[in-house]
Amino acid sequence: MLTVAMPKGRIFDEAVELLLAAGYDIPSDLQNSRKLIVDVPNENMRFILAKPMDVTTYVEHGVADIGIAGKDVMLEEERDVYEVLDLHISGCYLAEAGLPGSEWSGVVKKVATKYPKIASSFYREKGEQVEIIKLNGSIELAPLIGLADRIVDIVSTGRTLKENGLVEFEQISPITSRLVVNPVSYRLKDSTIDELVARLTKVIERKENAV
Ligand code: PRP
């Protein structure tokens, strides 16, 4: 039995599509119920429906053998998991943004983000001292209401920034979703995991060639 931690939300549909294209016979409406554990006996798989930020935690602790996690989550959480495949889905990037022409206000430079570790290391490398304010969502609100001077957040289509009158100052890191594996599971279930990786790789290559 292979236990797979799936990220609920944005990435989910693309991830299911990839697994279906790889020939795994899983219910396509996996996310529609409130169930958090879905067994798929015909594929000998169990799916755990997790918050995206928690996927690598489940995999690190071995309660899921594998998981699908955004590179953003991997960079922020720094969990002890193997990254075995770039799934080339849910492409976006991390960026620093703020109000146009905004200079840092006051002595303390404030940055709001869902990614305190990534933001800290970004500003450390630039030699800028900032105060990080951790938020859990709607990060773009922070500069609008004077909570922070800048934000570090995900940009996908750029619509959220635009519709809130914010501009990007610097791109920090490109992001896609990755297949991550628990190191012990990789030893114990290597053939099952290798087969999954091989089947997914074929689908990804097919998709890339079709573009
Ligand atoms: C993400 C991200 C941005 C937005 C970017 O938030 O934090 O707010 O999407 O997408 P866009 O460039 O296509 O507009 P999400 O919708 O996941 O919700 P959150 O605010 O709760 O983090």
pLDDT average, residue stretch 178-192: 98
Q: Which residue's CA is the nearest one to ligand 1's atom 2? A: 154
Domains 2-90+176-210 and 92-174 share a fold: yes
Distance CA 22, CA 198 (A): 9
Pocket of ligand 1 (CB under 6 A): 10, 137-140, 153-160
Q: Read off the pLDDT of residues 36-79 as tens digits, 9 standing for 90 and up.
A: 999 999 999 999 999 999 999 999 999 999 999 999 999 999 99
Are 88 and 211 spatial neighbours (Cβ–Cβ below 8 Å)? no
| pLDDT confidence of residue 108 | 78
DSSP the chain: -EEEEEE-SHHHHHHHHHHHHTT----TTTTTSS-SEEEEGGGTEEEEEE-GGGHHHHHHTTSSSEEEEEHHHHHHH--S-EEEEE---S-EEEEEEESTTPPPPSSSEEEEES-HHHHHHHHHHHT--EEEEE-SS-TTHHHHTTS-SEEEEEESSSHHHHHTT-EEEEEEEEE-EEEEE-HHHHHHTHHHHHHHHHHHHHHHHHHHHH-
pTM comes to 0.94
What is the structure's pLDDT at 70?
98
Handedness of CA 137, 81, 2, 28 (dihedral sign): positive
pLDDT tens for 68-109 read 999 999 999 999 999 999 999 999 999 999 999 877 766 779
Mean pLDDT to the nearest integer, 190-206? 98
Give the chain's mean pLDDT: 96
Per-residue pLDDT at 202 exceeds 90: yes
Q: How far is the CA of 144 from the centre of ligand 1 (A)?
A: 16
pLDDT band at 149 (very low <50, low <70, confident <90, very high): very high
pLDDT at 189: 98
CA angle centred on 175, ends 82 and 197, rounded to 5°: 40
pLDDT given at position 32: 85
Q: What is the mean pLDDT of residues 116-134?
A: 96
Q: Cα(155) to centroid of ligand 1, in Å?
A: 7
The pLDDT of 142-159, averaged and rounded, is: 97
**In the prediction, which pLDDT does 211 show?**
77
The reported pLDDT for the residue numbered 77 is 98
Q: Which of 118, 153, 164 to mutate to test the pocket of ligand 1 (most atoms within 8 A of CB)?
A: 153
Of the residues 155, 159, 175, which should be mutated to test ligand 1's pocket, given the most ligand atoms within 8 Å of the CB?
A: 155
Instruction: Using the atom order of ligand 1, give the atom closest to the CA of residue 10.
Output: 17
Structure confidence at residue 29 (pLDDT): 83
Confidence of residue 110 (pLDDT cuts 50, 70, 90): very high
Residue nearest to atom 18 of ligand 1 (CA): 137
End-to-end CA distance of the chain: 35
Mutate to test the pocket of ligand 1, among 154, 171, 175 (most ligand atoms within 8 A of CB): 154
**What is the fold of 2-90+176-210?**
D-Maltodextrin-Binding Protein; domain 2 (3.40.190)
Domain 92-174 has what CATH class? alpha beta
Contact 150, 96 (CB under 8 A): yes
* Closest atom, ligand 1, to C-alpha of 158: 12
Domain boundary assignment for the chain: 2-90+176-210, 92-174
Which ligand 1 atom is nearest residue 155's CA?
12
